[in-house]
C-alpha cells in the first residue's frame, strides 16, 4: 500500500533507515524484553549511535531538526518492532521538547546535546495520586527559598523515571491559583530529596519502567525552573499536543505489526482443506483491520504536519489522531489474536503481546475519554 507519496525524500529515507534497524536489530529482542521485563538499554544505545534520538532537537544542539512528522515515522517503525523501546523513545520528546520550546540558552546547552546523542534520557512528570486527567489540580508544592525551590509531593506514572537523567516535572507554587500556579522544573535524580518510588508491574510495555517519584524537601536550583512561574500548565498542554501524535504513531506501529502477522498466518494456516485466507469472513476482518491502520496513520501524519507548520492550535487534530489510532490499535490487535485462534492466546506467537501493548495507548497521554472531551470542546468552542 503506497501511502507515503506526501513525504519528502529525506523523510522517506529516514523512515526506511529506521525500519531496517528496527526489524533487524530491535524486533528479535522484543519478546525477551517483554518476558523478562528488561530495560532495552542496548536498543536505545543503538538508536543514539545512529543519530535518531535528536530528530526533534535543533541542529545547534546536536539534533537533526527533522520535526514531529519525522519523529512519528521513527516511532511507528520502532513500535512495530518493540513497543517497550518505542515508548521510552517517544517520552524523550515529551521530556525534551519543553526544553526546546521554553528553555533558556544555558538549559538548552546543558541538556539537549546529551539527549540528542543518547548519552542521557528524559522523562515527563505531570500526574499525581489526585491529579491524573485533572492535571490542573496537582498538589506537589514548590516553595522558593533564595536561590532554590523546595519541592514536596508524590508524582505517579513516570515513564522512564528510574532511568532518566533529567525529568521535566510540574509542581505548583500556589494551589489557590489553580492551573495558574503550575510551574515546570528540570529535576535531576541527584538533587537532594529526590527518590524513586514504586516500580509498576504492568500488563504491557513491560520493558519500559513506570515509577513513582517522591520529593521530600527536594532542592531544585532556580536556574532549573523551566520558563516563568505559572507558565507550566500551558507548557504541559503544548507538550502533550506535540507528543499525542507520537503516541498515535506508536499505536499505528503496534497495529501494523499485528496486521502483518495476521495476514501472514492466514496465508499459511489451512482448515477444511484450504487456506483460511480464502474464507470471506476472515477476508472481511483483514480488510477492516487494514482500513483502521491506514486511517490512523493518515490522521497521525496530518496532526504531526500541523505541528511542524507551527499551527496556532493543534489540540483538535492531535486528540483526533491519538484517540482514533489508539482505538484502532486495540481493535486490530484483538482481531489479530482472533485470526490466530488458540495459538493467538499463547506466547508462542507475538499477537498476544501486541494486544497487551496496545491497551496502554488508550490510557496514557490523556485517556481516550479525555481526548473525546477535548475534541468536543474544540468543535463547540467551549
Active-site positions? 365
Contacts of 32 (CB under 8 A, 6+ apart): 38
Please report where in the chains the cell 495459538 appears, as a residue. Answer: 343
Q: How far apart are CA 358 and CA 327, in angstroms?
A: 9
Could you tell me how many residues make up the chain?
382
Helix (H) or strand (E) holding 316: helix 315-340
Question: Alpha-carbon torsion 124, 130, 134, 138, what sign?
Answer: negative
Q: State the alpha helices, DSSP H only, in 37-158.
A: 41-49, 67-81, 83-102, 105-117
Q: How far apart are CA 12 and CA 347, in angstroms?
A: 34
Burial class (CB in 10 A: 0-12, 13-18, 19+), 247: buried
Q: Which residues of 269-281 are buried (b: 16+ CB within 10 A; e: fewer)?
A: eeeeeeebbeeee
Amino acid at each position: 500500500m503506497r501511502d507515503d507519496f506526501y513525504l519528502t525524500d529525506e523523510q522517506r529515507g529516514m523512515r526506511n533507515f529506521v525500519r531496517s534497524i528496527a526489524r533487524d536489530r530491535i524486533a528479535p529482542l522484543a519478546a525477551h524484553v517483554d518476558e523478562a521485563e528488561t530495560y532495552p538499554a542496548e536498543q536505545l544505545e543503538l538508536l543514539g549511535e545512529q543519530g535518531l534520538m535528536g530528530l526533534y532537537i535543533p541542529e545547534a544542539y546536536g539534533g537533526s531538526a527533522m520535526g514531529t512528522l519525522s519523529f512519528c515515522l521513527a516511532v511507528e517503525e520502532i513500535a512495530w518492532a518493540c513497543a517497550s523501546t518505542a515508548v521510552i523513545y517517544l517520552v524523550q520528546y515529551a521530556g525534551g521538547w519543553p526544553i526546546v520550546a521554553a528553555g533558556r540558552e544555558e538549559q538548552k546547552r546543558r541538556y539537549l546535546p546529551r539527549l540528542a546523542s543518547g548519552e542521557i534520557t528524559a522523562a515527563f512528570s505531570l500526574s499525581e495520586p489526585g491529579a491524573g486527567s485533572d492535571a490542573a489540580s496537582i498538589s506537589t508544592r514548590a516553595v522558593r527559598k533564595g536561590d532554590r525551590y523546595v519541592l514536596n509531593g508524590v508524582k505517579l506514572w513516570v515513564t522512564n523515571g528510574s532511568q532518566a537523567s533529567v525529568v521535566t516535572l510540574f509542581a505548583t507554587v500556589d494551589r489557590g491559583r489553580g492551573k495558574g500556579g503550575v510551574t515546570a522544573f528540570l529535576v535531576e535524580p541527584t538533587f537532594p530529596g529526590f527518590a524513586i518510588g514504586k516500580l509498576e508491574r504492568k500488563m504491557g510495555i513491560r520493558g519500559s519502567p513506570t515509577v513513582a517519584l517522591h520529593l521530600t524537601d527536594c532542592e531544585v536550583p532556580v536556574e532549573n525552573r523551566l520558563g516563568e512561574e505559572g507558565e507550566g500548565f500551558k507548557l504541559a498542554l503544548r507538550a502533550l499536543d506535540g507528543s499525542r501524535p507520537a503516541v498515535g504513531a506508536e499505536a499505528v506501529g503496534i497495529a501494523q505489526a499485528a496486521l502483518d502477522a495476521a495476514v501472514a498466518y492466514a496465508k499459511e494456516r489451512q482448515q477444511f482443506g484450504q487456506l483460511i485466507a480464502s474464507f470471506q469472513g476472515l477476508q472481511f476482518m483483514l480488510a477492516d483491520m487494514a482500513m483502521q491502520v491506514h486511517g490512523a496513520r493518515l490522521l497521525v501524519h496530518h496532526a504531526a504536519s500541523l505541528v511542524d507548520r507551527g499551527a496556532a492550535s493543534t489540540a483538535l487534530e492531535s486528540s483526533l489522531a491519538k484517540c482514533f489510532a489508539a482505538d484502532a490499535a486495540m481493535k486490530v490487535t484483538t482481531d489479530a489474536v482472533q485470526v490466530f485462534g488458540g495459538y493467538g492466546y499463547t506466547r508462542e506467537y507475538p499477537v498476544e503481546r501486541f494486544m497487551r501493548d496496545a491497551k496502554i495507548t488508550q490510557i496514557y497521554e490523556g485517556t481516550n475519554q479525555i481526548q473525546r472531551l477535548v475534541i468536543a470542546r474544540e468543535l463547540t468552542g467551549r
